[in-house]
Chain A
């Protein structure tokens, strides 16, 4: 009787394991990230692009997708009213430990999904960026907060910073749970290397990350002219003047409405 009971237990356990394996195949799916571009090419007709990020993920977890540029210091001039009348630049502020480009998209607001420490450790969200940034010469936290808000406003006006909630499609199919999001890549984003980092969070902590890379490159005529402007600047300057002179003369020759006054 005892043996029969044991046999029944083993069969139930085996069936449970089989059920788990069959019905929840991706309970522990590995997070992956892939961009549709390895590089964005800036050619003569370039006006931005679209960059999609997709991959496998855990069902039920929150996702944050962050795109940042390398480089960590920027210098801007601060305006203030002088003499009660005129606005002028009064000092240079250096923003250290701040990326030149920062796009963040999440399934929820970062402060709702992650603990303060997790936000700081992974630089997720403007709040975390502000805490991690060093502003010089700024001594007190209140001024730092005000200036950082202005910094974000400035960067957003240039389409170089963006933080949003939503826009990440989650689905489950034969391949398991996956995500997909599409960024409108701004033409203002300069050439260079960009890091795409996907964070998976649960219970206020980051449980997994995945990365991909994106390169933005000038090509063709754009690259030729940009290189020439910096590396053969005398020839470039002479050519610019020559083209202007020829164009001016050519139009002058075409419009022959002359005769002395």
Chain B
């Protein structure tokens, strides 16, 4: 059974985007990521124009992250205080990121810069997460969370010296309010450039720099992604007319269910196991992007504009 997508101007089997949404929604509930770094390239592979893929992906992330945030809120996993600060920074960063994209497009190679950004960020984040999680699992002798009883690193001491120290009760950590705001700006810029929710960047920041427990990280990350993607979806619809409503509905039919299932599975897994799984996925996507950049493409011409 096929449906015609009015904005993408292509026809697609309804089962493909639903299955894709289910898979990415599962990741959303499991890891607290929006899944855009996986979904957008897969949509492009299915024949969706890159600009429509990125914009519509943001739309479905709203649904999946609403479903996931709601599920995690019920479980007590959302640190709203931390989330609002990350969000504030993310909004500002998103506005800057949109301007960066305009400049990159004027230079004529936004597509390449975006891919290189993907490779660098995903590669660094994925490798670090994998190495750190394996190391922790090897040293682990009991069920305590890794954030307990670790000696303070230099970074942690620097963060502790910053002004506006604030207690985040839900996460059980104390940090300067500047930390989530500044990280939020950085993530917001990268998220706008890469066309993603930013979860795969925020999750490692919250785990390794802010030392938040993994399950609170998941819920809080989804909360931030939700509002970021509401902003991006609306702006893309108004500015670029690239949100395909039919495609978004098909994707969210799968992703909202997937997010719920992912949340259930996430409760059954330890934080380190979740990190390793996410690291493997992130590294897998990085390898795929590296092969796209280094192997001879089958077509030497591509449409202008891009992601």
**A residues apposed to B, CB below 8 Å:** 42-48, 75-81, 85-89, 91-93, 147, 150-151, 153-154, 157, 187-188, 190-191, 218, 221-223, 225-226, 229-230, 233-234, 236-241, 243-245, 247-253, 255-261
Q: CB within 8 A of B302: which of A79, A190, A258?
A: A79
**B residues apposed to A, CB below 8 Å:** 1-4, 6-7, 9-11, 59-60, 62-67, 69-71, 74-77, 108-109, 111-112, 116, 215, 230, 233-238, 241, 243-246, 248-249, 252-253, 256-257, 259-260, 263-264, 267, 292-297, 299-304, 306
Q: CB within 8 A of B243: which of A79, A92, A229, A256?
A: A229
For B3, list chain A residues within 8 Å (CB): 44-45
For A75, list chain B residues within 8 Å (CB): 304
Q: Are B66 and A87 in contact (CB under 8 A)?
A: no
Contacts A48-B11, A240-B59, A244-B233: A150 and B238 contacting too (C-beta < 8 A)?
Answer: no
Q: Are B76 and A188 in contact (CB under 8 A)?
A: no
For A48, list chain B residues within 8 Å (CB): 11
Q: CB within 8 A of A190: which of B9, B65, B300?
A: B9
Query: Could you give 11 example pairs across A and B, Cβ below 8 Å?
Result: A45-B2, A89-B108, A89-B111, A153-B299, A229-B241, A237-B238, A244-B66, A245-B230, A247-B253, A248-B252, A257-B71
For A255, list chain B residues within 8 Å (CB): 71, 260
Q: How far is the CA of A222 from the CA of B248 in the complex (A)?
A: 14
Chain B binding site: helix, strand, loop or mixed by DSSP? helix
For B259, list chain A residues within 8 Å (CB): 248, 251
Min distance, Cβ A47 to any Cβ of chain B, angstroms: 4
Max count, chain B CB within 10 A of own CB: residue among A91, A92, A258 = A258
Min distance, Cβ A79 to any Cβ of chain B, angstroms: 5
Q: Are A45 and B304 in contact (CB under 8 A)?
A: no
Q: Are A93 and B301 in contact (CB under 8 A)?
A: yes
Min distance, Cβ A84 to any Cβ of chain B, angstroms: 10
Min distance, Cβ A258 to any Cβ of chain B, angstroms: 3
Min distance, Cβ A221 to any Cβ of chain B, angstroms: 8
Q: Are A77 and B63 in contact (CB under 8 A)?
A: no
Q: How far is the CA of A218 from the CA of B297 in the complex (A)?
A: 34
Q: Are B300 and A79 in contact (CB under 8 A)?
A: yes
Q: Are A245 and B66 in contact (CB under 8 A)?
A: yes
Q: Are B10 and A188 in contact (CB under 8 A)?
A: yes
Q: Which residue of B lies closest to A88 (CB)?
A: B112
